[in-house]
Amino acid sequence: MTKLPITRRSIVLWVAATLPVTLSAKVEFKSEILPILETKCLKCHSAPHEEAGKLVKPKAELRLDAAWAILKGGESKRPALVPKDVAKSYLYEVLTLPKDDDMFMPPKGDPVTADEMAKIKTWIEEGGDFGGWEGNVAGKPVDPAAAKVVQKEREHDVLYKALAEGLQPASTEALKKAKDAGAQVSPLMVNSPLLRVDFLTGVSRCDDASIQNLLVLKENVVHLDLARTAVTDAGLKAVVQFPRLTRLDLRKTKVTDKGVEQLSALKHLTYVNLYGTEVTDASLATLAGIKTLRNIYLWETKATDAGVAKLKAALPQAEIVHNVVIAAPEGAAQEDNQGKRKKNNK
Ligand code: HEC
């Protein structure tokens, strides 16, 4: 008689081999839950559609044909699904009600079987994961933040397309002259005659004279980064001769209100960065007149809250960065917080 070699080791191996299978067997939405919804719910809970010439709307405004809609819920404003919370998931609750309850689902046709209910319950407990299934995205509300980004990109495309129209690319000599003056020049986009310029390889060597040398490129430059350079108000006299300039970075330069005053000549300026300059509310009054502006940086300037409030009112579409609150580590909190803490400790 042969003895089966059941050792401790073989038992351990057997357990190890079976465990992962049982643990990972999660209920899959698309193959196990969606078919239940399709046969028992979607007839009454789908996106508005036509049937025999009549418009059929989802009952109780509830759509179960899309992941976003299931999470949103219907007229009760209760989500049909709250992942991991069976008690709060309305789509499960309605299955468990007494058959004569008005809310028992489905009100007509084959009821959901005990087996199907168990599957739905487990699926919710396991996290209500749709596994990439989105369903019918028609009618899905647009995320306002995402919509804003799309809108911005569209505005951006339209603007640069208009600025590039009929424009000749900069000549090789002009590009060479600008580079000799210390500028780094690159195309804004592939195949675009529009250029961006900075002096990042030698900010201290860039002064008002360097900007004069850049004038050979004035038709083509849209982005000009003069951050931390030695440019002054005098240099801005040259800068305002760039007719297509949309973005001007003057952070940490010596420019003052007198220089900024000239910027109103720029007809396409959308971005201006004055962070760490000496500008005051007088500059804000100038900026308020540049209606194309969308991003304004005034952090660490002499601009006041009242001045910024006025600017905001004049340019409601602009994003203005004034007081940047940086989360301070414990112990380095802002003064008034410390004051409060001391009081609390008494
Ligand atoms: C024959 C049509 C029909 C079918 C099929 C149907 N429902 Fe409904 N459903 C309704 C009606 C009608 C209401 C509104 C009942 C009321 O308010 O009295 C409703 C309401 C609901 C609500 C409440 C929505 C809210 O926010 O008020 C849920 C949840 C729901 N149904 C889930 C389901 C589920 C899950 C299924 C499938 C198992 C299903 N229904 C199948 C007709 C249907």
- Encode pLDDT of 253-298 as tens digits: 999 999 999 999 999 999 999 999 999 999 999 999 999 999 999 9
The amino acid present at 186, given as its one-letter code, is: S
Closest-CA residue, ligand 1 atom 7, reads: 106
Nearest-atom number in ligand 1 for the CA of 102 is: 18
Token pair 């001045």: residue: 307
Best residue among 34, 37, 39, 41 to mutate for probing ligand 1, ranked by most atoms within 8 Å of CB:
41
pLDDT at 205: 84
Mean pLDDT (whole number) for 172-191: 92
pLDDT tier at 231 (50, 70, 90 boundaries)?
very high
Return d(Cα 19, Cα 23) in angstroms, integer. Answer: 6
Q: Is the pLDDT of residue 320 over 50?
A: yes
Nearest-atom number in ligand 1 for the CA of 73 is: 26
Token pair 């007198």: residue: 258
3: Cβ below 6 Å to ligand 1? no
The radius of gyration of the chain's CA atoms, rounded to the nearest angstrom, is 32
pLDDT at 342: 39
72: Cβ below 6 Å to ligand 1? no
Burial class (CB in 10 A: 0-12, 13-18, 19+), 73: buried
Report how far apart, in Å, the C-alpha atoms of 309 and of each of 251, 287, 293, 318 are.
21, 13, 15, 12
How much distance in Å is there from the Cα of 58 to the middle of ligand 1? 9
Nearest-atom number in ligand 1 for the CA of 80 is: 29
* pLDDT per residue as tens digits for the range 100-144: 999 999 999 999 999 999 999 999 999 999 999 999 999 888 887
pLDDT at 7: 63
Residues above pLDDT 70, as percent of the chain: 86
- Nearest partner of 41 among 91, 103, 100, judged by Cα: 91
Q: Which pairs count as long-range contacts for 128-131, CB under 8 Å and 24+ apart, including other chains?
A: 128/81, 128/82, 128/83, 128/84, 128/89, 129/26, 129/29, 129/83, 130/29, 130/30, 130/67, 131/28, 131/29, 131/30
88: Cβ below 6 Å to ligand 1? no
Per the prediction, the chain carries an average pLDDT of 88
Closest-CA residue, ligand 1 atom 26, reads: 74
Residue 169 CB contacts under 8 Å (≥ 6 apart), including other chains: 193, 220
Q: Is the pLDDT of residue 18 over 60?
A: no
Mean pLDDT (whole number) for 36-51: 96
* pLDDT per residue as tens digits for the range 185-208: 999 988 899 999 999 888 888 899
Nearest-atom number in ligand 1 for the CA of 112 is: 38
How much distance in Å is there from the Cα of 92 to the middle of ligand 1? 11
